[in-house]
Amino acid sequence: MAATEDPTLWSDLTRPLPDWFARARFGIFIHWGAYAVPAWAEPTGALGAVPDDEWFAHNPYAEWYFNTIRIEGSPAARRHAEVYGGAPYDDFLDAWRAERFDPAAWAELFAATGASYVVPTTKHHDGIALWDAPGTGRRNTVHRGPQRDLVGAIAEAVRAAGMRFGVYYSGGLDWSVSDFPPHRSGAEVGELRPRDAAYNAYALLHVRDLVDRYGPDVLWNDINWPDAGKRDGAWSLHELFSDFYARNPDGVVNDRWGIPYADYRTSEYEAGTENEEGAWENCRGIGFSFGYNQVEDEQSTLSGPQLSRYLGDVVSRGGRLLLNVGPTAAGEIPEIQQRSLRSFGRWHTAVRDLFATATPVIDGAVAPSEEPWTRWLQTPDGELVALVDQTDRPDGVTVAVGGPWATGTARLLIGEGEATVTDGRLTVRTGALPDGPAVVAVSR
Residue numbers at the binding site for ligand GLC (CB under 6 A): 31, 61, 63-64, 222-223, 268, 283, 290
Given the complex with ligand GLC, which of 223 and 350 has the nearer CB atom?
A: 223
Strand 164-169 relative to strand 117-123, pairing? parallel
Residues with Cβ within 8 Å of residue 388, at least 6 apart in sequence:
372, 373, 374, 397, 399, 428, 437, 438, 439, 440
The minimum distance between CB 365 and ligand GLC, in angstroms, equals: 35
The minimum distance between CB 435 and ligand GLC, in angstroms, equals: 26
Determine contact, residues 34/328, Cβ cutoff 8 Å.
no
Given the complex with ligand GLC, which of 60 and 396 has the nearer CB atom?
A: 60
The minimum distance between CB 291 and ligand GLC, in angstroms, equals: 7
The minimum distance between CB 222 and ligand GLC, in angstroms, equals: 5
Given the complex with ligand GLC, which of 61 and 225 has the nearer CB atom?
A: 61
Given the complex with ligand GLC, which of 63 and 383 has the nearer CB atom?
A: 63
Given the complex with ligand GLC, which of 189 and 414 has the nearer CB atom?
A: 189
Given the complex with ligand GLC, which of 219 and 351 has the nearer CB atom?
A: 219
The minimum distance between CB 90 and ligand GLC, in angstroms, equals: 19
Given the complex with ligand GLC, which of 295 and 356 has the nearer CB atom?
A: 295
Calculate Rg over the CA atoms of the chain: 23
The minimum distance between CB 61 and ligand GLC, in angstroms, equals: 5
Buried b (16+ CB within 10 A) or exposed e, 60-83: bbbbbbbbbbbbeebebbeebeee
Given the complex with ligand GLC, which of 34 and 406 has the nearer CB atom?
A: 34
Given the complex with ligand GLC, which of 22 and 271 has the nearer CB atom?
A: 271
Distance of CA 157 to the CA centre of its chain: 19
